[in-house]
Amino acid sequence: MSKFWSKLIRGLDPYVPGEQPKDRKYIKLNTNENPYPPSPAVLEAIREYTGKDLRLYPDPNGDILKTTVAGYFRVKKKNVFVGNGSDEVLAFAFITFFKQQKPILYPDITYSFYPVYSKFFEIKANPIPLTGDFRINLADYPVDNGGIIFPNPNAPTGRFLPVEQIESLLKQNTLSVVIVDEAYVDFGGKSCISLIENYPNLLVIQTLSKARSLAGMRIGYAIGSPELIDGLERAKNCFNSYTLDRLALVAATAAINDRVYFETTCRAIIATREWLIAELEKLDFEVVPSTANFIFIRHRNRKAEELFSALRQRGVLVRYFKLPRIDNHLRVTIGTDDEMQEFIRQLQAILSGN
Amino acid sequence: MSKFWSKLIRGLDPYVPGEQPKDRKYIKLNTNENPYPPSPAVLEAIREYTGKDLRLYPDPNGDILKTTVAGYFRVKKKNVFVGNGSDEVLAFAFITFFKQQKPILYPDITYSFYPVYSKFFEIKANPIPLTGDFRINLADYPVDNGGIIFPNPNAPTGRFLPVEQIESLLKQNTLSVVIVDEAYVDFGGKSCISLIENYPNLLVIQTLSKARSLAGMRIGYAIGSPELIDGLERAKNCFNSYTLDRLALVAATAAINDRVYFETTCRAIIATREWLIAELEKLDFEVVPSTANFIFIRHRNRKAEELFSALRQRGVLVRYFKLPRIDNHLRVTIGTDDEMQEFIRQLQAILSGN
């Protein structure tokens, strides 16, 4: 603590991302990155673009990217906001819509950045417990709130909520903004984007870090009614005029345009996930149903923290959260088939005591 | 205005960057970009790096870039913070150091993002008037404050404040943070970085958008005592874990490492500026002394707003601020020699009524 820090900064608990160790080579199954490289069209577009224009500021509005996203989802450009990763988009959304008198609502077990944003922007929050089997039950979300946010599928559980249930919530909850964070929706879930036309208080946030293999380029976007998008633009233009650099804009546009590559790699990850779940069940793991590029697992006899450490020693990184209710679970990113076979081999060795 | 926006967002006046028109080709002298391309080493580094690793998150701490910046300025890595443009670094600095009981101080004529950050983070501000000839007089800055910030050289005036005067301020002003925004310091000014060792409340912020020709890649950094840097890290880690993408990190590192190219292009811009000033004085312009890559000028007989419009019609964009005290000035970025000769030709034509 420093006497030069504001009182606000002194009181914060910053978010801690999954570790990115440099000490040795790991099979990295801890930060939900895509095991497949970005589309070759993306890499080609970046290389072709790299030149003297980098001396000039990027388009502060990201018009070409917005038009591309809008075309892909059959919405209008005025329905699209773009940002430096979906984390930045989320941060702007919190200050724009959630800084209200009433507390906002999100699941007690969810993306752990939500409570961090709440404290950073001095927003009151009221976490709503998941059910015993880690479901979001939207009937538990009182209408009298300052806003609602949840990932769909949820993280770190991977459980998906059908669009019909979200529409039921929107019919009741008309006075505050509902944000559906669809970072992981492309691995078997279904997007709510079709609902934005009828519900001006719905904001859907997606990222290019997961299904489009571009975590290294930091690109996210939000889709919603023009009044929500305008609010996000106001926040962004009070913080940083140009949040996406020229190469990120080019990479994102090329990635959205390569639909075939995107669909092919998503299908591959889903197939690996289904194989992996069957293997883990043979090894006495309970697996929460997942429509994400990760699974949330618990062994019937062995402690998660011990398995986490043993895997780490053997060169396999998974994510362990030492938090109430989930401190006996591991979150495992779906890698390539080879990586997951190695993961299973290492687990077998650990469980058999070799 | 939307009923879904927070009260804070409703009350904001977002920053408006210089226009980036797409209707025709302009000689662009309105956003202080560098007329020379980035170093060839930067472009080569990006092309070489572009590959499958873009599927992975970047280093959230930017360690390689921080070490490079630290080596260049002969400070320690723990003295360096990096961000998505110096605008983002400034935003984090405002919330970390300036959200205090007492008002912060900055010049009344300065970078117009400072009042925007103040409102966004609910910080009280007390602008201090420049002298009649647009100087910052630090004796006018009362010690009882929540923080002090000014660009050096100042924008949009271009005037430079000697390091000795800043050290005198720091000797008196020990209880709040002093931020020197050195976006334009490389065009003939002198940095305050050497003072950080003795003044733990001094933060120096620089950018790669100007002297290093990388406006399109959005990279800035701050240098200060470890306690100030730690505070900035806390703010960043409550907002976005990975603010710089992989290619921005690579580009920045290569740019800092190519000292010869940087010094050569800075010298060229300074030479063009001195030639331009002499030409403008022949055309009856008053030119505020500049150590920046722009000049701030006023014609003795013709209104700035008219000149701005006439230049725009002739394909030359400069910056005009319709603000008290400076609404008869133009800010003109230093371009290449060819661009500035064309600028002078167009001015001659306008002034002679052709």
Q: Which two tokens stand for residue A62?
A: 């990201």
Q: Which residues of B147-304 form beta strands (DSSP E)?
A: 148-151, 178-181, 202-207, 220-224, 285-287, 294-299
Per residue in A222-234, pLDDT tens?
Answer: 999 999 999 999 9
Per-residue pLDDT band for A338 (boundaries 50, 70, 90) equals: very high
Q: How far is CA A274 from the centre of its chain?
A: 21
For the segment A271-279, the average pLDDT, to the nearest whole number, is: 98
pLDDT at A127: 97
Q: Tell me which DSSP letter residue B319 carries.
A: B
Residue B39 CB-half CA count within 13 A:
24
Please name the helix (run of DSSP H) or strand (run of DSSP E) that holds residue A338, with its range, or none: helix A337-351
How deeply is A228 buried, as exposed, middle or buried, from its count of CB atoms within 10 A (0-12, 13-18, 19+)? buried
The predicted pLDDT at position B21 comes to 82
A50–B52: do the CB atoms touch at under 8 Å? no
What average pLDDT does this structure show over A151-163? 97
pLDDT computed for residue A22 by the predictor? 78
* Average pLDDT of chain B to the nearest whole number: 97
Contacts of A227 in chain B (CB under 8 A): 2, 4-5
pTM assigned to the model: 0.97
> Does residue A354 carry a pLDDT above 80?
no
Residue A46 has pLDDT above 90, yes or no: yes
Q: How far is A309 from chain B (nearest CA, A)?
A: 23
pLDDT of residue A265: 98
Q: What is the mean pLDDT of chain A?
A: 97
Identify the H or E element spanning A269.
Answer: helix A259-282
Residue contact A56–B8, C-beta within 8 A: no
Burial of A83 (0-12, 13-18, 19+ CB in 10 A): buried
Q: What is the pLDDT of residues B174-185, one digit of tens each?
A: 999 999 999 999
Euclidean distance between the first and the last CA atom of chain B, given in angstroms as a whole number: 46
Q: Give A113's Cβ-side CA count (13 Å radius).
A: 25
Phi, psi values for residue B143, rounded to 5°: -65, -30
Helix (H) or strand (E) holding B67: helix B63-73
Would you say the ipTM is above 0.95? Answer: yes
pLDDT at position A24, please? 84
Residue A263 is predicted with a pLDDT of: 98
Which helix (H) or strand (E) segment holds residue B317: the answer is: strand B316-317
User: A55 and B215: CB-CB below 8 Å?
Assistant: yes
Q: What is the pLDDT of residues B339-350, one digit of tens each?
A: 999 999 999 999
The CA distance from A223 to the nearest CA of chain B, in Å, is 15
Give the pLDDT mean for B127-131. Answer: 97
- B29 within 8 A of B341, measured Cβ to Cβ: no
**Residue A234 and residue A242: Cα distance in Å, rounded?**
13
B354 has pLDDT over 80: no
CA dist., res. B18 & res. A352, Å (int): 65
pLDDT for residue A284 is more than 80: yes
* Residue B297 pLDDT grade (very low, low, confident, very high; cuts 50, 70, 90): very high
Interface test with B, best of A1, A9, A293 (most B CBs within 10 A): A9
Determine, for residues A5 and B231 on separate chains, whether the beta-carbon distance falls below 8 Å: yes
Contact list, A242 vs chain B (CB under 8 Å): 17, 85, 87, 215, 218
**B106 closest CA partner among B143, B62, B151, B76:** B151
As a whole number of angstroms, the distance between CA B164 and CA B181 comes to 16
Q: Do residues A10 and B239 lie in contact, with contact meaning Cβ atoms separated by under 8 Å?
A: no
Note the pLDDT tens digit of each residue in A113-148: 999 999 999 999 999 999 999 999 999 999 999 999
Structural domains in chain B plus CATH codes: 7-37+260-351 (3.90.1150.10), 40-258 (3.40.640.10)
Residue A353, min C-alpha distance to chain B (Å) = 33
